[in-house]
Amino acid sequence: MNKHNILTRAERYNGYMSRDELEWLVDRATETTAGCRWCEIGVLHGRSLVAVGLAMLGRSTLVSIDLRWGSQESAGLTAHNAFAEIAWQNPHLQLVAQKADSAAAAGLYADELFDVVFIDGAHELEAVRRDLAAWMPKLKPGGLLAGHDFKTWPGVTQAVKEIVPAAENPAGSIWCWRKGESH
């Protein structure tokens, strides 16, 4: 599916990701190769999940974690619709849905397992510190750690500046950092 169609489909789901932020996610997901493991924390109705899930190459894995996975609805669409849409359009992608607290869920995964971890869960300072502490070890060396609401949510901004001060701000309120670069 081309980028325009992916973005149009993602934007049917309500959420807080702007067009340029979704484009950044689609570009990163399109760059992945088979076997990639991507984890998204904070799914809500599935806006960013659809952007990534439709752009990733098949025979990869997309893990989605939310405390309220699938129980939030807007305009008749939920994460269940997002999940079904991705499964239908990208049948070789292995999809995982976890209704769980993000930091607790991290304990279920081996260290250095993921190529990408995208954090868009709770935005309060202590919660973001907790997510960063729990998820940074789960990222492969050279893997991409990123998240949303940098500079728009004080808790996100402060935690990212404290823990990953080398993080960049490539689009909108997206922050990102590649593991292996200095923090």
- Kindly indicate which of the ranges 27-35, 67-75, 88-96, 168-176 contains the residues binding ligand SAM, using the contact rule CB under 6 A: 67-75
> Using CB under 6 A, which of 23, 85, 101, 115 touches ligand SAM?
101
> Using CB under 6 A, which of 54, 63, 82, 122 touches ligand SAM?
122
How are strands ordered across the β-sheet holding 139-147? 94-99, 61-66, 37-41, 114-119, 139-147, 174-178, 168-171
Residue pair 41/116 in contact (Cβ under 8 Å)? The answer is: no
Size of the site for ligand SAM (CB under 6 A): 19
Q: How far is CA 89 from CA 21, 23, 54, 56, 63, in A?
A: 22, 19, 7, 11, 17
| Residues in 80-99 at the binding interface with ligand SAM, rule: CB under 6 A | none
Query: Is residue 120 classed as helix, strand or coil in its secondary structure?
Result: coil
Residue 95 CA, chain-centre distance (Å), reads 13
Instruction: Say whether residue 120 binds ligand SAM (CB under 6 A).
Output: yes
Kindly calculate the radius of gyration of the chain based on its CA atoms and give it in whole angstroms: 15
* 34 or 131: CB nearest ligand SAM: 131
Question: In DSSP terms, which residues pair with 66 in a beta bridge?
Answer: 99
Instruction: Say whether residue 17 binds ligand SAM (CB under 6 A).
Output: yes
* 59 or 68: CB nearest ligand SAM: 68
Phi, psi of 156 (to 5 degrees): -65, -50
**Number of Cβ within a 10 Å radius of residue 126:** 10
Instruction: Say whether residue 66 binds ligand SAM (CB under 6 A).
Output: yes
> Using CB under 6 A, which of 57, 67, 95, 163 touches ligand SAM?
67
Instruction: Give the shortest CB-180-to-ligand SAM separation in angstroms.
Output: 25
Instruction: Say whether residue 16 binds ligand SAM (CB under 6 A).
Output: yes
Instruction: Say whether residue 48 binds ligand SAM (CB under 6 A).
Output: yes
Q: Which residues bind ligand SAM (CB under 6 A)?
A: 15-17, 41-44, 47-48, 65-68, 72, 101-102, 120-122
